[in-house]
Homo-oligomer: A and B are copies of this chain.
Amino acid sequence: MGGDHAPDEIVKGAVLAVRERGLRVVLVGRRPEIARLLAQEGAAGAIPIAHAEDALAMHEGALASWRRPRSSVAVACKLIRQGEAAALVSAGSTGGVVATSTVRLRTQPGVLRPALAVALPTRPTPTVLLDAGANADAKPEMLVQFAHLGAAYANSAFGVAHPRVGMLTIGSEPGKGNRLARKTAELLAATSAQAPRLDFRGNVEGHDLLAGEVDVVVTDGFTGNVALKSVEGAVRFTLSSVTEALSSSTMAKAGALLQRGALRSLRGRFDSETYGGGVLLGLNGTVVIAHGASHAPAVERACQLAHDLTTGGIADQVRTRVQATARTTWLHRRGQAEEQAGRA
């Protein structure tokens, strides 16, 4: 029921996911409305419906989780808890979905905080940026876990065997950045050699986000959200400046006519990939948050991503990685404390 074009486009996307990709989907929301839309698609009875009488509004943020215990997102979480579903896909408000699913699915054992991961449109495989906004204030230990959550994502969804991890900061040399970034880099460097191995490549900067030189970029939710939206805004600004330039003279206009197809497909690629939404990692159940403006094809892709993450075994990977991380981080900290005590 969430999204600017819900429930129509969500139902259409679900039908595509079932028909075109053979996925198994349950639609959650107001039964009569959904049944009518399914019938319109010639799919009456083809997709099971779980009734939810309420729905989050697009402007609702974190408090929605408490205000609306019977929202479609809350009911979908219940299906996961009961083992009737493995993943949740929503195009609802990011704040509302994050809050509701965090409260109702809880974090996997050992996970300090869930992180919102977004796939940036690099080639050949996307770069996973996390946290893109779930935690505005974070601690170094959380960011170390985010590195492992992101590695599990790159592996499950995109088949990257040994994901390269970078930490977002403001200089390429070690020791650059604010307090959080400096401590995180130190902790990542110290623990990445231990099992589960992490291919930590050190610092990356804002202009590396789309360079495709790492598979995972780790940062706190404040910086990550600002960086992601800066990228989105700059892409949009550049494309509209290009369009403007291409109609600046008769010659240029004539050229633009010849390229209409190429430019349209480029715009489509950025829309669907850059603005494709995010995945909330670290909960007991996979949560994919599609962009609010999603139409049916984006919903279909979000369902495929949820399926890929689940069959790629992201939950198991996160469990293994996080348990080991907690141990090594703790050992590293204890080692430092003992060293300091020894010196004193």
Contact = CB atoms under 8 A, between A and B. Distances in A.
A238 B245 contact: no
Ranked nearest first, the 3 interchain pairs of A and B with the lowest CB-CB distance are A206-B229, A207-B233, A255-B258
Given A170-B225, A231-B234, 19 more contacts: A136-B176, A136-B181, A169-B222, A169-B226, A178-B220, A209-B233, A210-B233, A210-B234, A219-B226, A223-B226, A230-B234, A232-B234, A234-B238, A241-B270, A242-B263, A246-B259, A251-B258, A251-B261, A252-B258
Given A177-B136, A230-B231, A231-B233, A170 B210 contact: no
A32 B181 CA distance: 45
Given A205-B226, A209-B233, A254 B258 contact: yes
Interface in A271-315: none
Contacts of A227: 206, 226-227, 230
Given A136-B178, A248-B262, A256-B259, A205 B234 contact: no
Q: How many copies does the complex hold?
A: 2
Contacts of A219: 226
A169 B225 CA distance: 8
A173 B63 CA distance: 14
Contacts of A176: 136
Nearest to A173: B61
Interface of A: 61, 95, 133, 136-137, 168-171, 173, 176-179, 181, 205-211, 219-223, 225-239, 241-242, 245-246, 248-249, 251-252, 254-259, 261-263, 265-266, 269-270
Given A170-B221, A238-B235, A262-B246, A207 B230 contact: yes
A206 to B, nearest CB: 3
A195 to B, nearest CB: 31
